Amino acid sequence: MTNTGLYEKLSLAMKSCSYIEKTGENTFHGYSYVTSSDVLERVNDALTGVGLITTVTPTLLDLREVQTAKGNIDKHATISVTISIIDIETGESVQISGIGSGQDSGDKAIMKAETAAIKYAYMLSFCIATGDDPEADNTTDLNTQTTPSPKVSTVRSKAKTSQTIVSDDLHCTDCGCTISSKVSSFSKQRYHMPLCMNCQKNHQSVA
Q: Is the pLDDT higher at 172 or at 13?
A: 13
How high is the pLDDT of residue 158? 42
Task: State the pTM of this model.
Answer: 0.59
Closest CA to 55 of 16, 97, 19, 3: 97
Question: Using one digit for the tens of pLDDT, what is the confidence trace for 140-171?
Answer: 445 444 444 444 444 444 444 444 334 467 77
pLDDT above 50: residue 86: yes
- Cβ-in-10-Å burial (0-12, 13-18, 19+) of 72 comes to exposed
Domains (ranges, CATH) in the chain?
6-132 (3.30.390), 152-207 (no CATH)
Q: What is the percentage of the chain residues whose pLDDT exceeds 70?
A: 78
pLDDT at residue 180, as a whole number: 79
With H, G, I as helix, E, B as strand and everything else as coil, classify residue 4: coil
β strands within the chain, DSSP E:
24-26, 31-33, 52-67, 73-87, 93-104
CA distance 196 to 182: 10
Question: Contact at 8 Å (CB) between 46 and 57?
Answer: no
Higher pLDDT, 24 or 15: 15
- Per-residue pLDDT, 33: 82
What is the Cα–Cα distance from 85 to 80, expressed in whole angstroms? 16
Query: Quick one: what percent of the chain has pLDDT higher than 90?
Result: 47
pLDDT in tens, 91-111: 999 999 999 999 999 999 999
- pLDDT tens digits along 169-202: 777 777 777 777 777 777 777 777 777 777 777 7
Cβ atoms 13, 47 nearer than 8 A: yes
Give the C-alpha separation, 94 to 86, whole Å. 7
Whole-number pLDDT of residue 159 = 41
